[in-house]
Amino acid sequence: MGPSEGSIEEPLAVLAELKRHGLIRHLGLSNISPEQLAEAQSITEIVCVQNLYNVAHRSDDGFIDDLARQGIAYVPFFPLGGFSPLQSSTLDAVAASLAATPMQVALAWLLQRSSNILLIPGTASLEHLRENLKAARLQLPSEAIADLDSIGRSPGQGER
């Protein structure tokens, strides 16, 4: 699930050329490392990065902060855990204390984590979409954020 090693110059050069011809307006990259972003920025402007990130999988913490300083959007994939939804007694406890669902709390944590985070959580129903939208209005108190931060203290390791 992490970035692959190596240069991204060859495929990106093709996309950059299409951008120069006006066929592509903006370029974003998925599943990349900070080193690959630097390489990409030497070729063309990058407006967003999409990598695995959620309250339990936090290996991009520093990368998100660097991207925010550069004004580059960050789109976490699997914000709710992916094929195995996030499960944590801490997440459940925070959700219960806020009269919210654990998934609403996980999304709210992401939205409050950094202003450059953009969410695209998947959904299969209108009800689930409405539930996800409520996360945008959920304000997590600092104590709840500290509790949630403890879930991902070890990069890639979530509480089970």
Query: Nearest 5°: phi and psi at 76?
Result: -75, 130
Q: Domain check: are 95 and 52 in the same one?
A: yes
Residue 154's pLDDT is 52
Cα atoms in the Cβ-side hemisphere of radius 13 Å centred on 36: 21
Q: Could you tell me which of 49, 70, 71, 69 has the C-alpha nearest to residue 60?
A: 49
Q: Residue 31: which domain range? A: 1-46
Contact 121, 108 (CB under 8 A): no
Residue 121's pLDDT is 85
Q: Domain check: are 87 and 34 in the same one?
A: no
What confidence tens digit (pLDDT) does each residue in 109-139 have?
999 999 999 998 888 899 989 999 999 999 9
Residue 116's pLDDT is 97
Q: Domain check: are 155 and 80 in the same one?
A: yes
For residue 121, the domain's CATH number is 3.20.20.100
Q: How many CB atoms lie within 10 A of CB 28?
A: 15
Residue 2's pLDDT is 78
- The residues pairing with 48 across neighbouring beta strands, listed in sequence order, are 28, 73
Residue 106's pLDDT is 96
Please identify every stretch of the chain with a pLDDT value under 50, giving residue numbers as ranges: 155-160
